[in-house]
C-alpha cells in the first residue's frame, strides 16, 4: 500500500501541472513588469491593519545620558541639529518611530545656536528639560519651558538658541516619513544663522489664543500659535479632572486646536494633553493612528497589545496603529501625545474601537 501511495503522489498529476504552468506564467509576465494580484491580495488588502511598528519605550535617564555625551562630540552648529533619532526597533534603518512619523531627542547647550533653515516637513517639539532656550519661528522668538508644545509648520523658517546657563532637551516629532512617502520634500538653509525676530515671546498665543483674531487674518489649515505653553494648558486639564470630566479611556484630556478652524494644529499631526488621576485604570482603546506618548508628570504603566510599558517623567513610548492599549496611573500623571490622526481623518480612513 505504502509503495503504491508513494508512487501515486510522486507522479505529476493535473494539479501539479497547473501549478507548474502558473509558475512559468508568473515568471514570464514578470519580464513585462506584471504580477498577479491574487498572489498578494491578503497583504495588500488585509482584514484589519497590521502595523510594522512595535510598542516601545525609551526611558529618559538612559537617553539623556547618551544625548549629553553627544555634546562633547559635535556642536549644534556643526550638526545643524544635534538629535538622536528614536528609531523603532521593528523599523531599523528607516529613521522613524512609526510608519508615518519621525521622533528624536534634541539637545542645545548653553551659548549654542542651531542655524536657521526650513523644510516641507512640519515639526513639533515637546520640551523635556531646561529653561530659557528659544525656538524662533516666523519672526517670533518663543522661549521654552518643560511641558511646552512648540510648532514649526510646513516651510516655516526656524532656528534655536540657548542663552540660558543649562542644556535644554526636547522631543522632536516630524511628519517627514509622510512627506517622503509622497516624495514632496524640499528644504533650504539660510545664510544668516539667526532669523530676525520682530515679535516677542508669546505674541502668537496672545494674538490667536484669546477668542479674537487680527482683522483680515488669512484662515489656514495649520495653527498660527508657535508655543502652547504648559503653564497655560496644564491648569485646564487639572480643572477638568477636578470637575470629574474624565474620559474612561483617555483621562481628563484636551486636544490642541488650530484657533482658525477648531481643527488639528497641523494637517499631518495632532496633539493631546491628558491628566490621569491617581489610581486611574483606563478602559481598553485602539485607533488607526500611531501615537507617541510622553510622560510630563507622574508614574504609571500602559499595556500596549499585551506588552506592559512602565513610564515615569519624560519617558517616551509608542502605541502602533490599531494596537489595543490601556493606561494605569500609579500617581496623578500627565501624558502628552501626538499622532497622525488629522492626516487619516482628512483622508476619511481614521477609525477607533475598543
Ligand atoms: Fe528643522
Closest CA to 163 of 98, 111, 88: 111
Residue-wise pLDDT for 210-220, tens only, equals 989 989 989 99
Residue 125 CA to ligand 1 center (angstroms) comes to: 11
Closest CA to 335 of 349, 325, 345, 322: 325
Give buried/exposed letters for 102-130 (b at 16+ CB in 10 A, else e): bbbbbbbbeebbbbbbbbebbbbbbbbbb
Quick one: average pLDDT of 120-149? 96
From residue 243, alpha-carbon distances to 215, 236, 237, 295 in Å are 35, 11, 10, 22
Residue 254 CA to ligand 1 center (angstroms) comes to: 27
Residue 157 CA to ligand 1 center (angstroms) comes to: 8
Residue 341 CA to ligand 1 center (angstroms) comes to: 22
Residue 117 CA to ligand 1 center (angstroms) comes to: 6
Quick one: average pLDDT of 75-80? 86
User: Considering the chain, what is the average pLDDT of its residues?
Assistant: 94
**How much is the pLDDT for 14?**
72
**How much is the pLDDT for 30?**
98
Closest CA to 283 of 244, 326, 320: 326
Closest CA to 293 of 321, 265, 267, 272: 272
Residue-wise pLDDT for 219-273, tens only, equals 999 999 999 999 999 999 999 999 999 999 999 999 999 999 999 999 999 999 9
From residue 240, alpha-carbon distances to 191, 232, 237, 347 in Å are 47, 14, 5, 31
Residue 321 CA to ligand 1 center (angstroms) comes to: 26
**Whole-angstrom distance, CA of residue 251 vs CA of residue 240:** 9
Residue 128 CA to ligand 1 center (angstroms) comes to: 18
* pLDDT band, residue 1 (cuts 50/70/90): very low
Residue 298 CA to ligand 1 center (angstroms) comes to: 30
Residue 286 CA to ligand 1 center (angstroms) comes to: 31
User: Quick check: 198 pLDDT over 90?
Assistant: no
User: Quick check: 3 pLDDT over 50?
Assistant: no
Residue 119 CA to ligand 1 center (angstroms) comes to: 7
**Whole-angstrom distance, CA of residue 251 vs CA of residue 296:** 14
Q: Which three cell numbers stand for residue 330?
A: 500609579
Length of the chain: 354
Please give the DSSP secondary-structure letter assigned to residue 285.
B
In percent, how much of the chain has pLDDT > 90?
87
Q: If you compute the radius of gyration of the chain from its CA atoms, what whole number of angstroms results? A: 25
Residue 86 CA to ligand 1 center (angstroms) comes to: 16
**How much is the pLDDT for 15?**
73
**How much is the pLDDT for 200?**
87
Give buried/exposed letters for 37-50 (b at 16+ CB in 10 A, else e): eeeeeeeeeeeeee
Q: Is the pTM of this model over 0.85?
A: yes
Residue 50 CA to ligand 1 center (angstroms) comes to: 31
Quick one: average pLDDT of 299-324? 98
In percent, how much of the chain has pLDDT > 70?
97
* pLDDT band, residue 9 (cuts 50/70/90): low
Residue 66 CA to ligand 1 center (angstroms) comes to: 21
Amino acid at each position: 500500500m505504502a509503495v503504491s501511495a508513494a508512487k501515486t503522489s510522486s507522479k505529476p498529476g493535473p494539479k501539479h501541472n497547473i501549478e507548474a504552468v502558473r509558475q512559468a506564467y508568473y515568471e514570464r509576465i514578470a519580464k513585462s513588469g506584471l504580477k498577479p494580484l491574487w498572489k498578494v491580495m491578503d497583504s495588500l488588502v488585509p482584514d484589519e491593519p497590521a502595523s510594522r511598528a512595535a510598542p516601545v519605550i525609551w526611558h529618559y535617564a538612559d537617553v539623556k545620558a547618551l544625548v549629553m555625551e553627544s555634546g562633547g562630540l559635535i556642536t549644534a552648529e556643526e550638526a545643524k541639529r544635534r538629535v538622536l533619532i528614536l528609531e523603532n526597533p521593528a523599523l531599523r534603518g528607516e529613521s522613524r518611530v512609526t510608519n508615518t512619523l519621525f521622533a528624536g531627542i534634541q539637545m542645545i547647550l548653553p551659548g549654542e545656536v542651531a542655524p536657521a533653515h526650513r523644510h516641507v516637513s512640519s515639526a513639533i517639539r515637546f520640551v523635556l528639560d531646561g529653561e530659557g532656550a528659544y525656538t524662533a519661528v516666523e519672526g517670533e522668538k518663543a522661549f521654552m519651558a518643560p511641558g511646552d508644545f512648540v510648532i514649526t509648520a510646513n516651510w516655516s523658517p526656524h532656528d534655536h538658541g540657548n542663552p540660558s546657563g543649562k542644556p535644554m532637551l526636547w522631543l522632536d516629532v516630524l511628519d517627514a516619513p509622510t512627506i517622503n512617502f509622497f516624495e514632496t520634500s524640499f528644504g533650504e538653509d539660510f545664510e544668516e544663522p539667526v532669523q530676525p525676530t520682530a515679535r516677542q515671546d508669546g505674541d502668537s498665543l496672545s494674538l490667536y489664543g484669546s477668542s479674537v483674531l487680527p482683522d483680515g487674518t488669512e484662515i489656514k489649515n495649520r495653527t498660527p500659535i508657535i508655543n502652547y505653553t504648559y503653564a497655560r494648558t496644564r491648569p485646564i486639564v487639572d480643572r477638568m479632572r477636578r470637575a470629574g470630566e474624565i474620559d474612561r479611556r483617555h483621562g481628563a484630556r484636551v486636544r490642541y486646536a488650530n484657533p482658525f478652524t477648531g481643527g488639528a494644529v497641523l494637517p499631518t499631526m495632532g496633539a493631546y494633553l491628558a491628566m490621569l488621576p491617581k489610581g486611574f485604570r483606563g478602559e481598553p482603546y485602539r485607533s488607526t493612528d500611531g501615537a507617541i506618548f510622553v510622560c510630563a508628570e507622574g508614574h504609571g504603566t500602559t499595556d500596549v497589545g499585551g506588552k506592559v510599558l512602565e513610564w515615569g517623567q519624560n519617558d517616551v513610548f509608542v502605541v502602533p496603529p490599531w494596537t489595543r492599549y490601556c493606561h494605569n496611573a500609579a500617581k496623578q500623571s500627565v501624558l502628552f501625545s501626538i499622532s497622525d490622526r488629522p492626516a487619516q481623518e482628512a483622508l476619511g480612513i481614521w477609525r477607533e474601537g475598543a
